[in-house]
Chains A and B, each alone.
Chain A
Amino acid sequence: GAGVSQSPRYKVAKRGQDVALRCDPISGHVSLFWYQQALGQGPEFLTYFQNEAQLDKSGLPSDRFFAERPEGSVSTLKIQRTQQEDSAVYLCASSLSGQGYTDTQYFGPGTRLTVL
């Protein structure tokens, strides 16, 4: 079946613009995660949803970052008033259950955001 998909794959924004990044998880997956991967670094956790509930947003770097998953499926990560330090690859992952710390997370290809 289809894996996790993300769109757009590439996004160029001028500093100060708002952007919206979309994630389509694997159908039926309860949990959804967003990560930020800066150049040459490992991904860093941003936020976590279980169905439509945002259970953890401890990794969001500022209040300019906002994520939602209103119907428990597709998720959108929104960044307001983008700054150059927001330039990174944004990764989405989903996993089957809502409770398993051993669950495998399946990753999408990412959206590469460049802020000029």
Chain B
Amino acid sequence: AQSVTQLDSHVSVSEGTPVLLRCNYSSSYSPSLFWYVQHPNKGLQLLLKYTSAATLVKGINGFEAEFKKSETSFHLTKPSAHMSDAAEYFCVARAFGGGADGLTFGKGTHLIIQP
């Protein structure tokens, strides 16, 4: 079984400042890790994914995440926030050989961008 913990339910940053959304995972198996974004009244969109290749993963819209096995973390960062980044962000895991076939979602982090 696996679990995903997003450490902050809400994060507020000013436009143009860095963004850090924190995620820790727990899995008995080698996980694939994803970050999805959900804008109001829109479907979930994949930002990036880690699949045991490079530990630093670059995604769309300037986001990136680093897989740190020793810390069981997969934090999402962006150097400079834009107003359009305001949304709900989900850290997601799927473990190979670990049981249920679906994705395991964290509870989400609501990102607020202050003008």
Contact = CB atoms under 8 A, between A and B. Distances in A.
Interface of A: 3-4, 33, 35, 40-48, 55-56, 58-59, 91, 93, 101-102, 104-110
B43 A104 contact: no
Contact of B105 (A44, A46, A47): A44
Contact of B43 (A33, A102, A107): A107
A42 to B, nearest CB: 3
Q: Which of A42, A101, A108 has the most CB of B within 10 A?
A: A42
Contacts of B7: none
Contacts of A3: 43
A110 B34 CA distance: 20
A102 B92 CA distance: 12
Given A41-B108, A42-B106, A102-B49, A56 B100 contact: yes
Interface size class of B (residues with CB under 8 A): 20 to 34
Contacts of B36: 107
A13 B20 CA distance: 40
A113 to B, nearest CB: 15
B51 A59 contact: no
B101 A104 contact: no
B43 A108 contact: yes
B46 interface: yes
A56 B107 contact: no
Interface in B26-85: 32, 34, 36, 41-46, 49, 51
Given A101-B96, A109-B43, A42 B108 contact: yes
Nearest to A101: B96
A76 to B, nearest CB: 18
Nearest to A105: B103
